[in-house]
Structures are given as C-alpha cells and as structure tokens.
Amino acid sequence: MFLITYKAGIYLVSLGNKKAKLWITGRKNVFDKLKESVKASAGKKIIWMHCASLGEFEQGRPVIAKMKEDFPEIVIFITFFSPSGFEIVKNNKDFKNIFYLPMDSPSHAKKWLHILKPDLVLWVKYEYWHYYLQEIKRKKIPLLMISGVYRSNQIFFKWYGGLYRNMLNCFTHFFVQNEDSKMQLRLLITAEKITVSGDTRCDRVIDVAESFKEIPGIPGFCGNNKVIVMGSTWEDDEAEWTHYVKQHPEIKFIIAPHEIDEENLTDIKKEFPGSVLYSEWLEGKGRGIRNEVPGFRDQVSGEDTGKTANCLIIDNIGMLSLLYRYATITYVGGGFGYDGLHNILEAAVYGKPVIFGPQYDKNFEAEEMIDSSGAISIENALELEKVVNNLLNNKEELLSRSASAKKYVYKNAGASDKIILFIKNNY
C-alpha cells in the first residue's frame, strides 16, 4: 500500500515539480534500455551498484573505480532512485550504464534481475527495497552493503521492524563505517558477516583533492582576501550568515546552496546584498558593483569605490568539492534542518576547519571531528560570529584546527581497499 501511495503522490506532485517529473520520465522504457545495454555487454561479468542519490554514489564511486582498475573485463551498471543523482551522473563519460531503478514491486524486481543477471550487487549505505533484495537473495547473487551505518533508533531494531530485519538477511556481507554500527548490527547479524571498513567517502574526497584543478573565475573572485565557503546550504543556514556577511565586505563569501532553482537563487541574492551569481561573474558582472553594503562606497563622497561583489552564489551543481580548496574557513549546511548535516569530509580534506549547525546526530564523523578539534558546531548567529572572528584573528588556532581536520580524513582512508580485497578473496 505504501508503494502505491508513494507512486500516486509522485505523479500528482510532478504536475508542478521538476524533480518529480524527472523521476517519472526517467523511468520510461527503462527495461528496453536495460536490454540494449546488457546485450552490448555480452560475455562480460556484470556488477550492479545501487545508490539512493548523488551522495551515495560518491561513497560507492571509489570502490567501482578500483574494481575497474583491478578487473578491467567487468561492466558496471549503476542505478539511482533520486533524480538528483541520476541527472548529474548520466553525463559522466566514465560511467556508461546509468539507470533509474524502477519502482519496487515483485514484477519489476523479477524482470530487472532476469534481464541484468548481475554477478555481484553492491548496495550503498541505505535505501532498502524489499522485492529487489528478496529477488537477489532468491537468485543467490552475492550482495554487499557498502559504508553502512546502523543506530539503535532505526526501524530494524524496533519491535515493528520485522520486514526490514528480513531485508537485512538478504545481504551476503556488510561493510560498516564504525564499531558502533557493528555492535548494533550484531544484534541481528552474525559477526563473520560484518566488517568495519570505514567510510569510503574518505577515499573519494582524497581522490578529488589530490587531483584538484582550478575553477574558472574563482581565483579572481577570491583575490588575496580571506574566504569563507558555505556549502550545501538551506534557508535556515543562510539566515545565520546574513548579518555577518553584510558587516564584513572585506571578506569574500562563496555560497553553494543545496537547491539551485531560480526562485531560491533570487531569494538568496535578496538576502545578501553585494552578491552575484557565478554565471554572472564569469560574464564580467559583479565588478564595480554599486550597493548599500558598508565598504563598497566611499563613506564621505558616497561614490562607487570600484570594488567587486563580496558574495558569490554558485548556480550550478558539481563544483562544491573543489570550492572548499579556496576557503580560509568552511561552513557545511544542513545542521539547522530535520534532514541533518551534509558531507563535511569534502571540506576537511583540504585542511580547513569546518563549522556547522547543531543537528549532526546522524553523522558520527561530525562528533569525532569535533572531538579532534577539526570541526565546531554552533547554535545561532551570535555564536557563529564569535567562532569565525576567533578563527580569523587567531592564526595559531586556525592552523591547528585546519591540520586536525585534514588528519582526520587521511587517518580514516582505506575503506575501498578493504572492500576490494574481500571481493578478490571471495568472488
């Protein structure tokens, strides 16, 4: 009943929602497309990796990259449930077989597995689809969980979570991010089926950082100023920064919002006078900007000083993991909302102190990085101002926290190698 209601809701919302419309149109003729791709892969081993969205793909990416290096004869098929993952990765030339996963149902699961016939299935972090998992188990296909996280408040460990506990039993082996996850999972799964591998995101962000390439227009915007990069922000995050940005025209701010629809970008520009969109900046706009922000006009004559905008709003997706490289201090969004904190490792890998809001209980790495002094959680705008000023005015503390952030990421690298070694030894 839930799946039927969910699908009906998506169709209804799609009438006025771009993402929901992509969710529907992207699944049209998906089985025919799958048949064509499988036919083109005849005679080769097939690995299927499923990701809920873009974040999970980034976690699975270092694993399949290493698999392609070690097993060049394999073919990788990647599925997404969310448009935010599919629509970005579909244009990546490194990955040819990208699909939306059809809605979970007995018929869809049987048809999908009958066509694809994978030799190995990788499931990244979460998103449990009952019929697909049961069909994988029925066909006795090895199924590995990558970068799993398990907590006592999850449905698996509730008295009413029987259906979800059954789905856990479909997995051949679990690679979990930390010891707490293993201890929790041990209540339901035997120890020999669980390996603490760490978070594959550490491997991914290290790969990105060590292959860094300059982003057009960003060095020119930053100049020799101190720079604060705010990534994956929501409205609640941006509200904490509005006063500080207006009061500090000498600092360069880069905002990469989580949502980049036109309406949201327009609202952000209103909240931050002296701001310019990245696309506008590349066109030469934002230089010699005239506005009422203190510092942009001569305080006596009131004439334009010729200074550029001090706030750059990123109006595309895919640059954030590189943008943090330019920061003096980073802020990662999501910590003031119900869904929780976004990826802080992308910022920490460059050796940048990370600031975020109070909602980070689902992110054990946030707790660990706070304990190691690489990150700071703030409750409100006043606390944010105090923390930022202290870091900018205290070089020793800035350097110390920066080093701690980077050390944390590199110390926790290597999860992908553990998973690949297991695959080599067992399959």
What are 228-271's pLDDT values in tens digits? Answer: 999 999 999 999 999 999 999 999 999 999 999 999 999 999 99
Does residue 346 have a pLDDT over 80? yes
Query: Residue 32: pLDDT band by 50, 70, 90 thresholds?
Result: very high
pLDDT tens digits for 53-64? Answer: 888 999 999 999
Confidence of residue 18 (pLDDT cuts 50, 70, 90): low
- Using H for helix, E for strand and C for coil, what is the string for the chain? CHHHHHHHHHHHHCCCCHHHHHHHHCCCCHHHHHHHHHHHCCCCCEEEEEECCHHHHHHHHHHHHHHHHHCCCCEEEEEECCHHHHHHHCCCCCCCEEEECCCCCHHHHHHHHHHHCCCEEEEECCCCCHHHHHHHHHCCCCEEEEEECCCCCCHHHCCCCHHHHHHHCCCCEEEECCHHHHHHHCCCCCHHHEEECCCHHHHHHHHHHHCCCCCCCHHHHHCCCCEEEEEEECHHHHHHHHHHHHHCCCCEEEEEECCCCHHHHHHHHHHCCCEEEHHHHHCCCCCCCCCCCCCCECCCCCCECCCCCCEEECCCCCCHHHHHHHCCEEEECCCCCCCCCCCCHHHHCCCCCEEECCCCCCCHHHHHHHHCCCEEECCCHHHHHHHHHHHHHCHHHHHHHHHHHHHHHHHCCCHHHHHHHHHHHHC
pLDDT in tens, 389-416: 999 999 999 999 999 999 999 999 999 9
Closest Cα partner for 323 from 299, 359, 349, 294?
A: 349
Give the lowest-confidence range in 4-13, 103-112, 199-208, 232-241: 4-13
The pLDDT of residue 23 = 54
Identity of the residue numbered 363: N
Rounded distance between C-alpha atoms, residue 391 and residue 214, angstroms? 25
Low-confidence winner among 17-21, 113-117, 309-313 (lowest mean pLDDT): 17-21
Full strand arrangement of the beta sheet holding 329-332: 275-277, 311-313, 252-257, 227-233, 329-332, 354-356, 375-377
- Contacts of 219 by beta carbon, 8 Å cutoff, 6+ apart: 326
State mean pLDDT over 207-220. Answer: 95
pLDDT at site 180:
94
Task: Please indicate whether residue 349 or residue 293 has the higher confidence score (pLDDT).
Answer: 349
pLDDT tens string 111-122:
999 999 999 999
pLDDT at 365 over 90: yes
Strand order in the sheet with 46-51: 97-100, 75-80, 46-51, 120-124, 143-148, 173-176, 194-196
Mean pLDDT value across the chain:
90
pLDDT band for position 50 (50/70/90)?
very high
Greatest Cα-to-Cα distance within the chain, rounded to the nearest angstrom: 79
Predicted confidence (pLDDT) at residue 287 exceeds the cutoff of 70: no
Q: What is the model's pLDDT at position 20?
A: 59
Higher pLDDT, residue 408 or 290: 408
- In degrees rounded to 5, what are phi and psi of residue 253? -115, 135
- Band (pLDDT 50/70/90 cuts) for residue 288 is low
| Domains along the chain with CATH numbers | 2-199+413-426 (3.40.50.11720), 218-411 (3.40.50.2000)
